[in-house]
Structures are given as C-alpha cells and as structure tokens.
Structure 1
Amino acid sequence: MHGRFMHRCLDLARKGQCETGINPLVGAVLVRDGKVIAEGFHSGFGKAHAERALLEKIEPRTSPALSAENAGRYRAPQKIRSTDILYVNLEPCCHTHKKTPPCVPLIIKSGIRRVVFGMYDPNPEVSGKGVEMLRKAGVEVTGPINPVECERLNRGFISVMTKGRPWITLKNARTIDGRYSDPKGGRMLITDETQDRWAHEFLRARHDAILVGVATILADDPRLDVRYVNNPPENYRIILDASLRIPTDSKVLQMLLKGRTIIVTSPDADLKKAEKLAESGVRIIPVEYKNGRFDWLSLWGKLTTPDGEFHGISTILLEGGPKTWEIFRNEKMVDEEVIFIGE
C-alpha cells in the first residue's frame, strides 16, 4: 500500500523539475481511508514546501501566512483526523536557516499523527532530526519507503549536499563500429527519431542544464532545447568557452530564454564581447582557466550558489563531443553514462 502512494509523491515531485534550483524535488499526499484527499508539491525555489502546500489546501488556518500559489484556491477547510496518513518522498525538514519555514512544526501543529517518508534528507542539518522531532511529538513515522527510487529522483540534491557539485550524466551516441563523426570530423546523424524522443523526454527534460563545449556550438550550432515533450521544462544551457569564441548569431543565443544560457569563460576573455552578451541576457560566469582546464571547484561553487533570479543547478546533462567527455572522465566528474548506438 505504501508504495502506491509514494509513487504518487514522486510523480508530483517531478512537476518541480528545473524550477527548484538546488532545492529537492518533493511531493506529498494525504491519505484518508485508503484514498488521497489532498496533494502538494514544491513548485519552485523559495516557494512553499510540499507539506505546507498540501496542508493549506486541507486546513489553511494551520499556517500563519498563505503561500502565493495557494491563495484563493481552497475547498472548505476540513479537520485533520488522527487516522490520516501523510506521505512525502523526503524526510520533512526541521532546520530554520533557509528561505522557507520548517515543515516538522507545521505537521505537528496540523494534528497529523502518521507520516510515511521515502528517504532521509542528506542535508546534515536535517538528516534523521526531522524524523526524531516528529516521533518525540507522538507522531508515528514509517520509512524509508522506496528509498532507491526516491534517491534517484533527487540524485542532484544528494550530489550537491555530499559532493558539492551537480550530478553529471554523460550522453553520447556512436555507430555500431564506434564512430562519433564522419571521416572529416563533421557532424553525422547517428540516432533515429525514437532514440531522439527518448533522449529528450528522459534525459534533457529531467536535467536542470545541458552542457557542451564551444566546439559543439561552432560545428553544429545546436539549440540545446527540449523537444518532443508537452510543456517542456525551462532548463539551462551551459557552454564551456574559455576564449569566448561563440558566434553572436549562434542559435543558442537567439532563443527567447537567453537568461537560461550560461557561458563559462576565462577572466582573460574578450571583455567587450562578454559585456555585450551579458547585456543581451546571457549569464557570463568567469572561471580561472589554466593548462587547458577550468577551476572546477570554483565553477561548481558558482553553479550551486543561488544568486538573484538564478537558483542554482543540481543536475547536468553533458553532451558535446569526445574532447569534452574525456576531460570530465579524467576529472572523475561523470556520475553515469548513457550511450546510444546507431546505424
């Protein structure tokens, strides 16, 4: 029984893809007599957590201030029953040094007496402490339930918390005989439409950012967007370009979401060009570049630190070409690799 409702939490949590920044993807459901009576999910960085979003739909008076996304959307308030069960795919938070209030006190105040969670929070300020606080308050807590699936969904959040960098998936396509390009080094279509659709739905649409080296931009001029998906997420496009060689008429710079394009370059690159790109809405991140490599620790720090409207990145899909792949492999920064074999 628990598995069915936890899967619903995961489905809800995915709705926050590319919107929560370095925060986790979290969904919650309230079950009464075997039926879901309310749902909520963390819809964006700085917005209500899943538990609060759910409780405001059931009994808005449990919260001192209504979140913007739930204001004016309620059914008639109803009282929480002692037999109701709250399901959430991540241990409820209890720390206070953040943008939103902690969920554990809210859950206790609401009268919920049973909580089922999917995985422990990897944040050391929370890990195990949220569960402990609930139990001390007399709440029956069950979990972890389906921890492998829950951890898979939040692999980016876990990576940021434990490694200090985004989770990185390397995607490459090759022919049966191992070729990546035609004999002259030019672009070669390898995958078919079925493979392309799968890559967009299960890779591009499920990562916060798509990363390539500038050589890919110069050779292929890709859009680096998400297609074949209804209501695709607004993910970031990251280009590694130490010398700022990217042409200003590149497709990736002509798209409406310029603010979602990031160019990582050397502080010694063309300053006027960098300023012009920044004025057009492109985010320029200067990172020290020596001996053919960026200062990766510095880059990861900048990509996982919220700054204004930039809420950080927790998952990256590494595309590009063999040279970029080799750099990431050699630096041991590839967490998983997906290989497409074409004709």
Structure 2
Amino acid sequence: MSDADRRFMALALGLAARGLGNVWPNPAVGCVIVNEGRIVGRGWTQPGGRPHAERRALDMAGAAARGATAYVTLEPCSHHGKTPPCSEGLIAAGVARVVSAQEDPDPRVSGRGHAMLRAAGLAVDVGLMEAEARALQAGFLSRITRGRPWLALKLATSFDGRIALANSESQWITSAPARARVHALRARFDAVLVGGGTARADDPLLTVRSFTPLRQPVRVVASAGLDLPRDRLAGSVSEAPLWLVHGPDAGAEARAFWAGIGAELIEVPLAGQGLNVAALSVALGARGLTRVFCEGGGQFAAALMRAGLVDELIGFTAGVALGADARPALGPLGLAHLPDAPRFTLASVETLGGNVLHRWRR
C-alpha cells in the first residue's frame, strides 16, 4: 500500500482516539473517506457508541462517497443491532475500496464484514497499521478475547516509590500539571477503579474535574463489606455512575443504603481475605467496560498485580524522597525469586511539571 494510504489511515487512527472513554461497550473507531486524493468524509464513533464512525463519514461524504476509498481502523460491522451494518452502508454508498487496519474478533463480525464487502465487488485491503490499531483498541480487544477490560494501574509516587507519609499525609506529592494530566487520563478510560481502603481514607469523588468531559467515567469501588464513607462519594451519584463491587457477606443495611441512592451493586466471591479480583475483572467486562483506570490503593493494587491483571503501568514520579517509614505504592507481592516479579516494557516517558510521567506495558 502507498504512503498516501498510510497517511489517511494515520488520520483515521487519530479520529478513533477521540472516542476513547466515551463509546463503551463499542470500540472507538475512526473512518476517513477519500475520493481522487481529496478527503470527502470523516467520522469517529460517537458518545454511547452510536452513530458508528463509518456512518458519520458517509453522511459527510454524501454522493462523493461513490467510487471512493474508505479507511477504517476496525473491520466494518456486518450484523444488525440497534443500527444497520456499516458494511451495508459502505456498499449502498458506492464505495469502491475499503482499507481496514484489522479484523474484528467479535464473533458477530469476525471476517464477515470484509467478506460482505468483497462479495459486493469492493476491493478490500486488511492490515495497514495493524499494530497501531491494536494498541488503540487494546481495551475492546481485551473484553472480546479475554472477557475482561484492559487495566491500567496509575501510581503517583515519590522518587523512592512511596505514596504517603506514615501518618497518611499525601497532598501533594506530585505537581499540579501532573494532577491535571490524571484527570485527562480518567476521561480516556471507561471507568476509574479504587479499593475500599482508598475510599475509606480519602472519600474520593473520582470524577473528571479539570474540564468537562463528554462522558464521566464510571466510578468503581471494590469493598468486600461495603463499609464505605457516606459523604462525598454517596452525595455525587447524580454526577457520575457509581458501581460498588462487594462480597457475599456485605450487610443488608449497607446494600439497601447504596442501592437506595442509585449505586449499582455487583457481588463477587471472596479470595482469601479480600475480593476475588479476577472475578471482579470479569464482572466489569460482562457489563461492557473495555478500559479501566485503577488508582489504588497499595493493597488492592498488589492484589491486581499478583493476579496478573495489570496490563499497563502509568507512573507519575516526583523528585522527593519520603523514606522507608512512608507508605509504599504497592502492598506485598509475596515474591520468592526475582524472575517471578511482574515485568513491563517502557512505552513512553516525558517530563511534566517537574515530575516524570512514564508508561509501561506488560
């Protein structure tokens, strides 16, 4: 494929990224329609998952879609859901060629969209910038193929990996620009997840507040006994969805209170002294979440790490040292041998307000 093909697909990927955090349970897809070297239509999946990217681009292109090439970041859908299949829309519009970054593993599609296009006489090329498309769609692909969302663990720490002093004082270890970036990251994920310990210590809102997002992320709190503060978290249910994951022994009064104010209760089994985090992850995937942004705390993060559920580490590191008596970012992992330690590959690094932001992938 040509340099022009790659350039238009890169544009489609950029458009697709605009949907991250806004479109679950659907994938965030981008589409660019080009006729004789001129862009005549472009679109990305809209908040809530509809309209799809192809439909938006076709509506913009109108009659200019006839004989054009459509660049899409994921195989066009082929099944009838709440909207007609995008493959049918491309065919009806007279598009001559479709360049698709990757096949959709969703069993309802899984090659059928490409086959429908070819059967109608369209030229179909698959695989352009597939690695980039897969990285962008990591959450959707994880939910479809593994039954659970992609999970990123954020750790904001001192240089020596501490998140608070021994007396729990933690405001603020990182800089204001770093904290603003955290809000921007929250907006690109479907949900923000914390453990019950963090909720009890901070009673956090977990909303995006540095700006007004298109869609507030779901707030998920994991607390086996539902013994949670009933102030800010309870008083903000109207601002953003609140899901509480609890164990089978959570009290009836606590269940009634949280359900009564509009929180969604999700029961999962226990594992040892806490919740079964693997079951928690599957439960979130079953409810459509594709990308989850975990903000701790240390014991809960360690449980996720021990279970192999952390796909990405996002670290904000400040140039301050707190010492061994301060609280560590991670609880015990129970490692006996260094080769058993979870390892991640550095994906990116940047300086931000005097801090270092580094991202790692499993």
Give the TM-score band, short-chain normalised: 0.7 to 0.9
Alpha-carbon contact 2:21-2:291 (below 8 Å) kept: no
Aligned-pair distance for 1:296?
4.0
Does residue 175 (structure 1) correspond to residue 158 (structure 2)? The answer is yes
Does residue 85 (structure 1) correspond to residue 66 (structure 2)? The answer is no
Aligned-pair distance for 1:195?
1.7
Aligned-pair distance for 1:170?
0.7
Distance 1:21 1:282 in 2: 19
Match of 1:68 in 2: none
Aligned-pair distance for 1:238?
0.6
Alpha-carbon contact 1:171-1:337 (below 8 Å) kept: yes
Distance 2:257 2:239 in 1: 13
Distance 1:231 1:259 in 2: 11
- Provide, for residues 271-320 of structure 1, a one-character-per-residue CA deviation record: whole Å limited to 9, x for no partner: 122222212111111222242232445433432334xxxxx211111112
Aligned partner (choices 16, 27, 30) of residue 27 of structure 1 = 30
- Provide, for residues 76-117 of structure 1, a one-character-per-residue CA deviation record: whole Å limited to 9, x for no partner: xx35332x1111111112234x44332222222221111112
Match of 2:93 in 1: 110
Output the amino acid matched with 2:306: N
Alpha-carbon contact 2:77-2:87 (below 8 Å) kept: yes
Alpha-carbon contact 1:182-1:188 (below 8 Å) kept: no
Aligned partner (choices 146, 171, 195) of residue 213 of structure 1 = 195
- The SS at the match of 2:26 is coil
Query: What residue ranges of structure 1 are gaps of 5+ in the alignment?
Result: 60-77, 307-311
Match of 1:94 in 2: 78
Aligned partner (choices 265, 274, 292) of residue 316 of structure 1 = 292
Percent of aligned pairs sharing the same letter: 35
Distance 2:132 2:52 in 1: 20
Higher strand share: 2
- The SS at the match of 2:65 is coil
Change beyond 3 A, Cα 1:183–1:272: closer
Alpha-carbon contact 1:211-1:320 (below 8 Å) kept: yes
- Provide, for residues 222-249 of structure 1, a one-character-per-residue CA deviation record: whole Å limited to 9, x for no partner: 2212233453531011101111111111
Aligned partner (choices 94, 107, 130) of residue 147 of structure 1 = 130
Alpha-carbon contact 1:187-1:220 (below 8 Å) kept: no
Output the amino acid matched with 2:22: E
Change beyond 3 A, Cα 1:234–1:322: same
Match of 2:352 in 1: none
Match of 1:288 in 2: 269
Aligned-pair distance for 1:45?
4.1
Distance 1:338 1:271 in 2: 37
Match of 2:7 in 1: 4
Query: What residue ranges of structure 2 are gaps of 5+ in the alignment?
Result: 321-362
- Superposed, 1:1-343 pairs within 5 Å as 1-45=4-48, 47-59=50-62, 78=63, 80-82=65-67, 84-96=68-80, 98-201=81-184, 203-231=185-213, 233-249=215-231, 251-255=232-236, 257=238, 260-306=241-287, 312-342=288-318, 343=320
- Provide, for residues 306-343 of structure 1, a one-character-per-residue CA deviation record: whole Å limited to 9, x for no partner: 4xxxxx21111111221111100100000011122112
Distance 1:25 1:177 in 2: 37
Alpha-carbon contact 2:223-2:275 (below 8 Å) kept: no
Alpha-carbon contact 1:30-1:39 (below 8 Å) kept: yes
Aligned-pair distance for 1:212?
0.6
Distance 1:333 1:111 in 2: 44
Alpha-carbon contact 1:32-1:85 (below 8 Å) kept: yes
- The SS at the match of 1:37 is strand
Output the amino acid matched with 1:48: P
What is the TM-score of this pair, normalised by structure 2?
0.80
Output the amino acid matched with 1:267: P
Output the amino acid matched with 1:314: T
- The SS at the match of 2:160 is coil
Alpha-carbon contact 2:227-2:254 (below 8 Å) kept: no
Alpha-carbon contact 1:41-1:53 (below 8 Å) kept: yes
- The SS at the match of 2:17 is helix
Match of 1:309 in 2: none
Change beyond 3 A, Cα 1:167–1:123: same
What is the TM-score of this pair, normalised by structure 1?
0.84
